[in-house]
Structure 1
Amino acid sequence: MTKKVNIMTDADAAAVNNAISARLKGYRSEKKLSLDELSRRAGVSKGMLVEIEACRANPSIALLCRLAAAMGVSVADIVDVASQPPVHMIPPDAMPVLWQGERGGTARLLAGTSGSNMVELWHWQLFPGERFSSPGHPRETTELLHVTAGTLELKVDDEIFYIAAGCSVVAATEAPHSYACAGDTPLAFTMTVHEKAH
């Protein structure tokens, strides 16, 4: 039996990178931030910012989180899937894949609110042997995770938790953390991230 995996094409990656480049330039201009100032605030090299704005770099989720926090916006704002009340429908082809694992796993940003006090909705799929690691989010960030298939290995600092299909977990994720597929079957989970403005 052949397993179908959702692989991000070069065209998909280029579209996401173009959106990130345009939005990053727009927010920098709107907030009157030089490359040097954004580099200082986000702890990201100026050279990397130049590469991102020129669409020559594929920024990680962790890097997007740092840039968003430094500019007082959400990751959803940067990739242009932020809600615009009262109702903003986002079609499937506008939900960007922002991480892809070596075996075909993906992290797709489904929707998010605008601004620094943000909420994001994600869908993750990891295959056996895949892991995603994060250096941690700003203080008081909370993630709600619900496992729909497989078993999630959630590591926060040095503690490891196993969450089976059908179970949910609430995690404070300002510390370094990771998600991994535990076992021999693919893992799927939805995640809501709430980051307070500081």
Structure 2
Amino acid sequence: MASQPGIAVGARIRALRTERGLSLSALAAEAGIGKGSLSELETGRRNPTLDTLYALAGPLGVPLASLVDFRDGSVVADEGFRTVLLHTERTEETTSEVWLLQVGAGVTRSSPAHTRGVVEQLVVLAGSCRVTYAEESVDVPTGGHTAWPADVPHRYTATGDTDLRAINVIVTPT
């Protein structure tokens, strides 16, 4: 049985899919997930993973925060990875999301390409990480910062023996 947040996220995915005139089959194919899995998500019978949310956000053309209905405090987690939405700021030009990332030492978190023009920034609070995107790889120590175009596949790897704690800012053009 899905949790209440899972039910709310499923309803939001269904509403966005319907607004865009996409069939269940078309969205599932574009996101690279099973039609049955998408149906279970939409009806609240399955809780979404972070991988699934990222896979759906791109084809729906929305920031990740919109799938959790821009609720501050929303938590999305997978094994070794947890992120909390701290704040969302929306203007006519952009949607900016501020997330607290917690990544276990040695864990890699991969993300598919976001919609066109999305930029991410990372400020490392504790631990260190390697951010890889396109043909680039950047090591970011505690207190360090980096930014990159997130409309290409990218990944974070918590390097060293300490869990990574970082602030991730995602800016999506509207």
Q: 1:187 to 1:157 in 2, by over 3 A?
A: same
Q: Determine the structure 2 residue equivalent to 1:96.
A: 74
Aligned partner of 1:108: which letter?
V
Are the equivalent residues in 2 in contact too, given 1:72–1:116 (CA < 8 A)?
no
Residue 3 of structure 2: SS of its match in structure 1? helix
Are the equivalent residues in 2 in contact too, given 1:117–1:194 (CA < 8 A)?
yes
Residue 178 of structure 1: SS of its match in structure 2? strand
Q: How many residues align?
A: 173
Q: Determine the structure 1 residue equivalent to 2:47.
A: 58
Q: Determine the structure 1 residue equivalent to 2:133.
A: 156
TM-score (norm 1): 0.72
Tell me how far apart the structure 1 counterparts of residues 27 and 93 of structure 2 sit (CA, whole Å). Answer: 16
Q: Determine the structure 2 residue equivalent to 1:4.
A: none
Deviation at 1:143, TM superposition (A): 0.4
Residue 184 of structure 1: SS of its match in structure 2? coil
Deviation at 1:149, TM superposition (A): 0.7
The answer as to 2:117 corresponding to 1:140 is yes
Tell me how far apart the structure 1 counterparts of residues 89 and 33 of structure 2 sit (CA, whole Å). Answer: 24
Deviation at 1:134, TM superposition (A): 1.3
Q: Can you give the 5+ residue segments of structure 1 that lack an aligned partner in the other structure?
A: 1-9, 83-89
Residue 101 of structure 2: SS of its match in structure 1? strand
Q: Deviations over 1:102-151 (max 9, x none)?
A: 4xx41222233469942211111112121111122223221011011111
Q: Can you give the 5+ residue segments of structure 2 that lack an aligned partner in the other structure?
A: none
Q: Determine the structure 2 residue equivalent to 1:169.
A: 146
Q: 1:129 to 1:177 in 2, by over 3 A?
A: same
Identity of counterpart residues, as a percentage?
31
Are the equivalent residues in 2 in contact too, given 1:69–1:116 (CA < 8 A)?
no
Are the equivalent residues in 2 in contact too, given 1:68–1:75 (CA < 8 A)?
yes
Are the equivalent residues in 1 in contact too, given 2:104–2:163 (CA < 8 A)?
yes
Tell me how far apart the structure 2 counterparts of residues 140 and 170 of structure 1 sit (CA, whole Å). Answer: 13
Q: 1:187 to 1:71 in 2, by over 3 A?
A: closer
CA-based RMSD of the aligned residues comes to: 2.8
Are the equivalent residues in 2 in contact too, given 1:101–1:126 (CA < 8 A)?
no
Larger of the two Rg values belongs to structure: 1
Q: Determine the structure 2 residue equivalent to 1:130.
A: 107
TM-score (norm 2): 0.81
The answer as to 2:84 corresponding to 1:108 is yes
